[in-house]
Every structure is written in structure tokens, then in C-alpha cells.
Amino acid sequence: MSKIIVNETSCDKGPLPYRTVLVLLLLASMLTVMAGAIITPVVEVMRGDLKIDGTAAGLILTMHGLVIAVSSPLAGWLIDRWGRRVPLAAGLVMYGLAGGAGVFAESYQALIASRIIFGLGAALVFTGTTVAMLALYRGTLRDRVMGWRTTATSIGGVIFPLIGGGLATLMSWHAAFGVYLIGLPIGIAVLAMMPASQEKAQKSTRQQGDAMLTLLRQPALTGIFFLVIVQAVMLYALAVFLPQRLAELGYQMPVVASLYMALMSGTSSVIGAYFGRLRQRWSYLALLRWTAVAWVGAFLLLGLSGDLWLLAVGSAITGISNALAFSTTSVMVADFVPEKVLGRAMAVFSTCMFLGQFLSPVLLGALIEQTSLTTGYLMLSGGATLILTVLLLMRQERKLTEKAL
């Protein structure tokens, strides 16, 4: 057995390396949020213009997420096989071209086809940006960078729906798809500026695949991926069903729900900005415990309260839990696996995240139809209580080990 050595040396005192590349990676990270957020305000307009039902219109918004969940393992294999730079650049170009195709799409079939190809590019973008950040930075600087990534994606969750809605109002719903074209210049810049991977694969694809399977059998890594799914379910439980909860209380204007979503994204961005400092103070296990505490409290408020201010507090706490969960689990995966299979490990991370996003409205929706929104939220709080109990019973995490590869 050999320990995975993680460099915990702080780089805070020296200059930040790869600054230009980091800016590009943060911009690319925002594109993963933009994938759905930019067209959220125009779904209803598209439904009427294309003469489709609500389910078909919803697929325009969610199809890319399902494609990401399915294709992420392939994206991870490509990154481990060819390095980070070329697959990420190719994914950004595919993202821009397929996403921008919506500007010219005049039929539902053409739009869905473009969203499938778009999802393939987005899978490379999500996995590639994550692997690049985790590989280029170490120690406390890595914690800070991953926190900044959470902040960037959270800010994107606030501004992109406004951009999409504004363009659709000024021109047409097709114009919102034009924003995806930003992936083209970012992809070209990544290809020109990102350093190539230093470590070359010295073992066969089969050997590396066996190593990845060995790691996936480790209970700690399995637990991390489970929490990724839970985080996605919790996030979309708010994004999908809070507008219905507000409507039950008599607040049906879309702008009200948008304010709550913005509040959630705002608190996520703040926590992301300070994640590096939080990581210096608390261990991974402690941060995960705080995440579970936030889940318990948030969904108790959302399930029991009919007061707008308390619902706002619940939304804000959900943003805190989302930032803690996403940043902590991302860095934990990077600390657990060797860099040679990091691409495939983060691909599993991506699959878990987008699978959770896809399943959340399906599973929770079925429960809510049989019971009520408040019951659904209270059951999520109960599930978070079980997770918190398990985390409290766990001992302080030790250095993770792996079999020699």
C-alpha cells in the first residue's frame, strides 16, 4: 500500500500561478451553469412558438443534463488518454457551435438534436475544467481556487437567466442561444494558453480502468459520490419546487421565485469565495457535517413555514449547503485519486451530479403528487438528519490510501 501524497504547502505568499489560464477556467466553469440557465426564461415562449407541450419543452432544458450524465465517463477517458488541454478546447468549441445552433433552429427536432450534441460538449467542459483546476493547483491554493469556482458558477446562476430573458424580450427566443457562442473564443484561448499535462499515461487503458474500479470499491470514495448525488437532489428540490410552494402561498409572479433563486446563488457565491479560509479552519469531515446541518435546517424551514422571510432564510441556507458540498467533495476526490485517473474520477463525479439533477424532480415529484410539497421537503430534512447522524458517528478522516498502481 502506498499513500497518496497531497501537497499541503500554502501558495498564498507567492504569486498566483497560471492566472490567465485560471480566468479562462473560471469562465468555462460558468458555461456549465449557463447550459440551462440561459434558456430557462424562454422555455414557455419556445413552447408556444414550436407548438409543443410542457413535457417536450422541458426536455429542451434538461436534455443536455441527461447527456452529460451518460457521456461523462467517455469525457473522463478522453482526458486521461489525451491530457486536459485538447479535450477541453474541443468541448468548448462543440459547446459553442451546438449551443449556438439554436439561433437558427426552426423545428423542435432540430433543437433537440443540437441539445444532444451540446450535452456532449458540456460533459467535456465540466469534467475538463474540474480536472484542470485540481491538477494545476495544490494544497490551500487548490481549496481557494475550487471555492472561486463555486462563486463563479453561482454568479452565473444569477446573471445568465437575466441575460437570456433580456435578449428574448428585445429580439426573440432564438437570440438567447447566441450567448453559447462564447464557448468558441474561450476554446481557442484554452488551446493556445493552457499548459499540456506533464504526466503521460504509462500503463494501458485496461490497467488504468482496473485501477479506477479498485478505487471505486473504496467505501470513502463511494460515500463522496453518494453525497454528490444528494447535493444535486437537494439543489433541484429547491429550484424546481419552490416556485410551486410560493404559488401555494399566493405568490405566483415569476419574479418572486427568481429573487429566491438569486438569494440562493448569492449565498453560494459568498461561501465559495471564503472556502479556502473555511478549509484552513475545518477538516473535510467537519465541513460535510455543517453541510448536513444546513440541509436539515433549510428543508425544515421550507416545509414548515409559510412566511416569506423564513422561506428566504431557507433558500439562503440551501445556497450555503450547496457551496460547501460542491467545493468539499470536489477537492476530496482530487485528494483521493492519483492524477493519472483523475479525469475518469471526475467524470463519475459529473455523472452523479447530473444524474441527481435529473432524478430530483422525477422522484420528489412522484412523492409530492402522492402527499404534498411540505411532506416532500420534510422528508428531505429527515434524510439529511440520517446523513448527519452517520457523519457524526464517523471518526476524523485519515489520510486516504490506495493500492500501488
Domain annotation for the chain: domains and CATH numbers: 18-396 (1.20.1250.20)
Q: How many CA atoms lie within 13 A of 185 on its CB side?
A: 4
b/e string for 77-90 if b means 16 or more Cβ within 10 A? Answer: bbbbeebbbbbbbb
Look at 146 and 206; give whichever has higher pLDDT: 146
According to the model, what pLDDT value does residue 96 have?
A: 93
From the number of C-beta atoms within 10 Å of its C-beta (0-12, 13-18, 19+), residue 109 rates as exposed
State the average pLDDT over residues 211-226: 74
**Among the listed ranges 28-32, 328-332, 338-342, which one has the minimum average pLDDT value?**
338-342
pTM for the structure as a whole: 0.74
pLDDT bin (cut points 50, 70, 90) of residue 54 is low
According to the model, what pLDDT value does residue 248 have?
A: 80
pLDDT bin (cut points 50, 70, 90) of residue 399 is very low
pLDDT bin (cut points 50, 70, 90) of residue 249 is confident
**Average predicted confidence (pLDDT) for the chain:** 80
Counting runs of H as helices and runs of E as strands, what totals does the chain give?
Answer: 16, 2
**Among the listed ranges 62-76, 114-128, 202-216, 294-308, which one has the minimum average pLDDT value?**
202-216
